[in-house]
Amino acid sequence: MDDIEFAYNQALDYLYSFVDYSLTRNLSYSPEKFDLGRMVELMNNLGNPQRDYPVIHIAGTKGKGSTAALIASALQAAGYRVGFYTSPHLQDFSERIQVNQGAISHSELVELVEWLKPEVAKTERLTTFELTTALAFMYFRQSKVDVAVVEVGLGGRLDATNIVTPLVSVITSLSMDHMAVLGDTLPKIAAEKAGIIKPGRPVVLAPQREEARKVIQDIAAERGSKLIDVRQNVHYAPWTHSLDGQTMLIWQVEDQAKADDFIENAGETPWQPLRLTLPLLGYHQVENAATAFVALRAVRENGFMISDKEIQAGFANVKWPGRFEILNREPLLIIDSAHNRDSALKLRITLDDYLAGLPIVLLFGASEDKDVAGMFAELMPRVSRVVATQSIHPRAMEPVRLVEMAHAYGRPAQVVLPVEAALSRALQIARQENMAVVAAGSLFIAAAVRDAWQNLVTR
């Protein structure tokens, strides 16, 4: 290990020496855990770097990372220098903090951590996520970004990122997740996510269930924020798809009659809707792209120069690994970050769309606090066999329990540890029985399988 990597690992050890609620089992809501006062104090001591550039702030249960990545990629295609903050990372901590799709270097992160330490000592009870967020805001100022796309970590209202006054806020698809922290009903979760809405600043809302949409609509009205409902502003539809990517069509609501004519005549009409190419697969990514498109239009209305052609170029070149990502073709190996019931349903629909009739061996691991029963209810009808495993994570569920749950659906299942061995076993089954391997259950499993696959192919 060279000096930089040693220093980088020491910097990570320092960050992880603070309270990290992402590693906590059965996390519950309490003011001492989620308190923006600490973050406000820290950022005041740092000179409030988050005020030095416009911010697009994105919350949601599912799709916020994909939507954020699409927005950032399009802004970069338009010639802007773009900061991008996301969490958790897939393989390397530095992925969380990016400029123009390049992660902060290990040496830069080490320097920033050293610079941060004296300021951290002035504020009590800071968390790992708060420090990481501060590092991102500092790095974006240092890098002189034109705009930053910032993804919420958890919730919205009391999330460490919620000290920004955004150019535009975006709320993506909402569903049941982190119920112990955010609330046990969809309206309660919507209220927490809507905490990112700031007075007088527009908010873009992805298609939602009516009970969630109504909550957000009311909060936006209370704060004098323009609500831009994606469904009321544009219509869209998938057009073509393959394992290499997909295309979609998007048009103004008032052009619906022209769109009907276009679709009925298989595209042979003088009027043409805007066509977007996406390397991200699945219908849910069409919805995310529509949300990103409407958000970019709102950004354009707030002073940014970005054309539809630049949006097309940015979407076509977006990189967002771990989301129905194809690692191998023969046998087919796919990793996905599905980790709640709604995302498991979207994964099953995507499997039906892209792999109709092909049997699936599911390589599965999950955190103990997740709705595994709900995920299995969605996935098991589409799965032929299960290989249960466990990532190196404090919240990981015991795989024996996963096997028992799979057996209740009549599916053959076995425990294989560690993840590397589980991947080898799943690939062996796939080759012998002409199946596809799909790894899902948590981002930690997707990341571990990605690591294991890269190690296999580089041997």
Q: Are residues 227 and 330 in the same domain?
A: no
- For residue 415, being part of any structural domain is answered with yes
Q: Is residue 279 a part of any domain in this protein?
A: no
**pLDDT for residue 29:** 46
Cα separation, 153 vs 161, in Å, equals: 7
Regarding whether 200 and 349 lie in a shared domain, the answer is: no
Q: Is residue 418 part of a domain?
A: yes
- 331 shares a domain with 433: yes
User: CA–CA distance from 189 to each of 186, 192, 215, 346 (Å)?
Assistant: 5, 5, 10, 20
Q: For residues 265 and 275, what is the distance between their CA atoms, to the nearest angstrom?
A: 16
Q: Helix crossing, 3-16 with 128-142: angle to 10°?
A: 130
pLDDT at 154: 83
Is residue 67 located within the same domain as residue 181?
yes
CA gap 189, 228 in Å, rounded = 20
Q: Are residues 347 and 216 in the same domain?
A: no
Tokens 């097309």, residue located: 312
Instruction: Tell me the residue range of the domain where 129 lies.
Output: 3-231
Tell me, yes or no, whether 221 and 350 share the same domain.
no
Within this chain, do residues 199 and 332 fall inside the same structural domain, yes or no?
no
Token pair 């209370």 in the structure block, residue: 222
- Mark whether 10 and 131 lie in a shared domain: yes
Q: Could you tell me if residue 445 is inside a domain?
A: yes
Instruction: Examine the domain organization and report whether 227 and 333 are in the same domain.
Output: no
Domain boundary pick from 231, 255, 277: 231
Residue 128 lies in a domain: yes
pLDDT in tens, 120-162: 999 999 999 999 999 999 999 999 999 999 999 988 899 999 9
Q: Are residues 214 and 360 in the same domain?
A: no
CATH number reported for the structural domain that contains residue 397 in this entry: 3.90.190.20
The b/e string for 123-161 (b: 16+ C-beta within 10 A; e otherwise) is beebbbbbbbbbbbbbbbbbbebbbbbbbbbbbbbbbbb
CATH of the domain at 110: 3.40.1190.10
The CA distance from 157 to 192, in Å, is 5
Looking at the domain assignment, is residue 282 inside a domain?
A: no
Report the distance separating Cα 459 and Cα 448, nearest Å: 17
pLDDT of residue 369: 85
Exposed (0-12), middle (13-18) or buried (19+): which is 389, by Cβ within 10 Å?
Answer: buried
- Domain end among 231, 263, 287: 231
Extended strands (E) in 145-185? 147-151, 168-171
* Strand-pair partners of 363: 387, 439
In the chain, which residues have pLDDT < 70? 1, 21-34, 177-184
Within-domain flag for 41: yes
Residue 194 sits in the same domain as residue 343: no
pLDDT for residue 23: 57
- Closest listed residue to residue 95, CA positions, set 16, 170, 151, 17: 151
Q: Is 367 a domain residue?
A: yes
Whether 227 and 368 share a structural domain: no
Domain end position, chosen among 216, 231, 246: 231
Cβ neighbours of residue 125 closer than 8 Å, sequence gap 6 or more: 19, 32, 38
- The number of distinct structural domains making up the chain is 2
Residue 66 has what pLDDT? Answer: 97
